[in-house]
Amino acid sequence: MTAETDQARIAPAPAAADTVFGVILAISFCHLLNDMMQSLLPAIYPNLKTGLHLSFAQIGLITLAYQVTASILQPLIGLYADKRPTPMALPGGALFTLAGLVVLSMAHSYGLLLVGASILGMGSSVFHPESSRVARMAAGGRHGLAQSLFQVGGNAGSALGPLAAAIVVVRYGQSSLAFFALLALLSCAILWNVGQWYRHHGLARLAAGGAGQAAHLDLPRGAAAKGIAILLALIFSKYVYLASLTSYFTFYLIHRFGLSVEAAQFHLFAFLGAVAVGTVLGGPVGDRIGRKYVIWASILGVLPLTLLLPHASLFWTGPLSVLIGLLLASAFPAIVVYAQELAPGRVGMISGLFFGFSFGMGGLGAAVLGELADRAGIETVYQVCAFLPAIGLLAGLLPDLRRRATP
């Protein structure tokens, strides 16, 4: 890659207009609410495991039920939205989240837990591809910044979920999930207004931006498909590793260091907070210096830390987990925008594919790692996962992005 960055080569279309921060912040806030409500599920796993006498494998299958419904439906919904935009799908997704939390609050059997988790996943499957499209509509050419602001809302919500669980759900029980479902009504109201902007202004802005995207990429045949495959491999390595922390980090801390559930939840909150910070930094830095540089920094920076984590004391486990979260998350906005540039005109499908794939790999990883924890112990999970970031060295094969000169 030359000193000229991929972003310099791909100048935003003049018709894309200015960045609409009001819309981006609104969709980011709804992302916060959505992911906070949805992250309550893994945050209450210790309670569910004790109350219903679940195994680690059963815990993993709950995560799988949630994430598979999201991962299968997201690219399909994104593809549909590219062909037939549906602004009012946004508030509809919030209603699925509400229904999922209500079912989970009343679930006293394993089967009903799986049903509630699946409905929760359907809420994400509708919300993420359409809201990512809105972020690009409002970006005004600053696509990395818009994706970072959109995604950091979700990361902040994921970090607040365990904190809310430690303060409310651990004290008042599973039924208190119904209280958080009320937040879905607030999200629904905001998304209704975003949907109106989407209908009256966003579609025109996306079409104007698409005119600038119409120029052919100066890439060999098959290079775009190869690039997307490499980016999906990076998502696999990152999200299976993230699943090891979001689903099992509290169990690891309790087992290895004897922490209480509340103390372990605060460690998880610190990790997820670092993920939020990494997300908000990754996009604008990628806009400025190039997305490939951000992806490489994430890979080369995190691998030594994941190798150290299984051998660290409690004192060092906290800082290591925070640095891992910071670096892992910094690449995701760059990866999504890079993929959108590789497939111009397919914003919804690409967004759905990458968000859905990340959810699916997280769910599959949680199920496999749960089985591994049952068979070999929770510490073995982190010894095995330590090597996953090495897959990210495939980033060296990513194509450079540049436009062919027009006559």
Q: What is the 3-state secondary structure (H, E, C) of the chain?
A: CCCCCHHHHCCCCHHHCCCCHHHHHHHHHHHHHHHHHHHHHHHCHHHHHHHHCCCHHHHHHHHHHHHHHHHHHHHHHHHHHHHCCCCCHHHHHHHHHHHHHHHHHHCCCHHHHHHHHHHHHHHHHHHHHHHHHHHHHCCCCCHHHHHHHHHHHHHHHHHHHHHHHHHHHHHHCHHHHHHHHCHHHHHHHHHHHHHHHHHHHHHHHHHHHHHHHCCCECCCCCHHHHHHHHHHHHHHHHHHHHHHHHHHHHHHHHHHHCCCHHHHHHHHHHHHHHHHHHHHHHHHHHHHHCHHHHHHHHHHHHHHHHHHHHHCCHHHHHHHHHHHHHHHHHHHHHHHHHHHHHCCCCHHHHHHHHHHHHHHHHHHHHHHHHHHHHHHCHHHHHHHHCCHHHHHHHHHHCCCCCECCCC
Instruction: Report the percentage of the chain scoring pLDDT > 70.
Output: 89
The number of distinct structural domains making up the chain is 1
Predicted confidence (pLDDT) per residue in 107-130, tens digit: 888 999 999 999 998 988 889 888
Q: Determine, yes or no, domain membership for 287.
A: yes
Q: Determine, yes or no, domain membership for 22.
A: yes
Predicted confidence (pLDDT) per residue in 96-108, tens digit: 999 998 998 888 8
> pLDDT tier at 221 (50, 70, 90 boundaries)?
low
Q: Calculate mean pLDDT across residues 24-43.
A: 88
The residue that leads in pLDDT, 140 or 207, is: 140
Q: Determine, yes or no, domain membership for 5.
A: no
Residue-level pLDDT at 208: 61
Q: Determine, yes or no, domain membership for 7.
A: no
Q: Determine, yes or no, domain membership for 8.
A: no
Q: What's the N-to-C CA distance of the chain in angstroms?
A: 25
Residue-level pLDDT at 55: 87
What CATH number is given to the structural domain containing 380?
1.20.1250.20
Q: Calculate mean pLDDT across residues 157-175.
A: 78
Predicted confidence (pLDDT) per residue in 131-146, tens digit: 888 888 888 778 888 8
Q: What is the rounded distance in angstroms from the CA atom of residue 180 to the CA atom of residue 169?
A: 10
Instruction: Report the percentage of the chain scoring pLDDT > 90.
Output: 20
State the residue range of the domain holding 81. Answer: 16-397
Residue-level pLDDT at 151: 84
State the chain's mean pLDDT as an integer.
82
Q: Determine, yes or no, domain membership for 330.
A: yes
Q: Calculate mean pLDDT across residues 26-37.
A: 91
Q: Determine, yes or no, domain membership for 163.
A: yes
- pLDDT at residue 86 is higher than 50: yes
Q: Determine, yes or no, domain membership for 407.
A: no
Predicted confidence (pLDDT) per residue in 228-266, tens digit: 999 999 989 888 898 888 888 989 999 999 998 888 888
